[in-house]
Amino acid sequence: MLLSNFVVFIWFCFAVAQPQPSQSTAPYWPSHSTTPSRLTAPSLPTAPSESNRPDDHTAHEPPEDEPPDDDFELLKTTFPHTYAHRGCTDQQKRNLEVAANDAWLLAKAQTVPVEGYDYNLPHSQWLGDDWNKQGDETLDKQSSYIAGNFQNMARLVSGNLEKDQKLRFWCFPRWKNDDTCDKAKVYAKSWFWYPEDEDLAIKIHHTVFCDRFFWQPGLQSTVDRLKTKPMRDQLIIDNAVGVSAVTMLHEIYHYRDMIVYPSTTDYAYGALKCHELATKAGGGTELAYRNAESYAIDALAIYLQQTLQLGFPPISRKYMNEEIDPAGA
Ligand SMILES: [Zn+2]
């Protein structure tokens, strides 16, 4: 396949960024009959149709610029088919493994149902009140896409990727003169080669993790620290949102076709902005379901509530201060 047949798409991401699942092992690719919206245009999702993606999506060759398999080595993670570039140091590879295993815990909490747990609370908080509503074309599309994204993530959690689907992690920029990681606040960026043939699914996703990512605290140490804090601190998600696993999960929630459809973008980062985005005034589900960070924080909220055995999922500090507890008591 000629390189010219592909267009590369890149995200810049700031801080961004059990029971066996019962979901089908078949990938969830919401069908579409019109050209998918591309990343730079945060347009609304295209309407789903009854037709399915063709089955010949595995037939295409990787683009010429796709690095050879020998450039990567398999990481020891609970996510399947996850590789690090051989240019990463051993320490970086270990850090990637820790972050990936922690991101897996977050994704599992989010997508593998626990009996009796009220998922509506966190999903409404981070993906908007309409995350599961139906009744008109817009509501139906949104809830269908969100359900599909969760279903795809459950597949990744359970290890059910197709043979040629891969996650490829880098610890340095892919291209010469790429100064992405030199920019303030950038933790990671992801890209894929987008086949001009709209019916081909994207199989390989790349993410470069910048030095800032490797400086982020781990999930387990953060949870251990929170356990020593008053419950009020445990209920403020800002106290945990900076962990490396959230950055990695944010990036994975950019992986089109493998995880999300249609493309996600970055409308908001962090607990406060994502909370505001999910409200009606901030855009609500219509924007939140296209925002990678919203999914990552939603997963963190569920994981923390379950792990710390909290009465409700953690929320943003400002919301806690102003609405839940205006007196600051
Ligand atoms: Zn992003």
Cβ atoms within 10 Å, residue 262:
23
Q: How confident is the model at residue 82 (pLDDT cuts 50, 70, 90)?
A: very high
**What pLDDT, on a 0 to 100 scale, did the predictor assign at position 212?**
95
**What pLDDT, on a 0 to 100 scale, did the predictor assign at position 12?**
55
Tell me the CA–centroid distance for residue 328 and ligand 1, in Å: 33
Name the token pair of 305. Answer: 């509530």
Tell me the CA–centroid distance for residue 176 and ligand 1, in Å: 22
Tell me the CA–centroid distance for residue 284 and ligand 1, in Å: 18
Distance CA 162, CA 206 (A): 16
Average of per-residue pLDDT across 247-265? 96
Residues 6+ apart with CB under 8 A from 155: 21, 23, 25, 27, 28, 161
pTM as predicted: 0.84
Tell me the CA–centroid distance for residue 142 and ligand 1, in Å: 19
Q: How confident is the model at residue 13 (pLDDT cuts 50, 70, 90)?
A: low
Q: In this predicted model, what pLDDT tens digit does every residue of 146-200 receive, in sequence order?
A: 999 999 999 999 999 999 999 999 999 888 888 889 888 899 999 988 777 777 8
Tell me the CA–centroid distance for residue 329 and ligand 1, in Å: 35
Lowest average pLDDT, out of 61-70, 109-118, 200-209, goes to: 61-70
**What pLDDT, on a 0 to 100 scale, did the predictor assign at position 63?**
57
Tell me the CA–centroid distance for residue 4 and ligand 1, in Å: 26
Q: What stretch of H or E contains 230?
A: none
**What pLDDT, on a 0 to 100 scale, did the predictor assign at position 194?**
74
Query: End-to-end CA distance of the chain, in Å?
Result: 63
Tell me the CA–centroid distance for residue 135 and ligand 1, in Å: 30
Q: Which architecture characterizes domain 3-15+65-324 according to CATH? A: 3-Layer(aba) Sandwich (3.40)
**What pLDDT, on a 0 to 100 scale, did the predictor assign at position 199?**
77
**What pLDDT, on a 0 to 100 scale, did the predictor assign at position 185?**
85
Average of per-residue pLDDT across 307-311? 97
Tell me the CA–centroid distance for residue 190 and ligand 1, in Å: 8
**What pLDDT, on a 0 to 100 scale, did the predictor assign at position 57?**
27
Tell me the CA–centroid distance for residue 16 and ligand 1, in Å: 6
Q: How confident is the model at residue 140 (pLDDT cuts 50, 70, 90)?
A: very high
Tell me the CA–centroid distance for residue 271 and ligand 1, in Å: 14
Quick one: DSSP state of residue 139?
A: H
Instruction: Give me the sign of the Cα torsion angle 275, 276, 279, 283.
Output: negative
Tell me the CA–centroid distance for residue 125 and ligand 1, in Å: 19
Q: Is 302 left (phi over 0), alpha (psi -120 to 50) or beta?
A: alpha
DSSP string covering 262-303, please? S--B-S--HHHHHHHHHSTTTTTHHHHTTBHHHHHHHHHHHH
Distance CA 12, CA 181 (A): 9
**What pLDDT, on a 0 to 100 scale, did the predictor assign at position 270?**
96
**What are the domain boundaries of the chain?**
3-15+65-324
Distance CA 131, CA 123 (A): 7
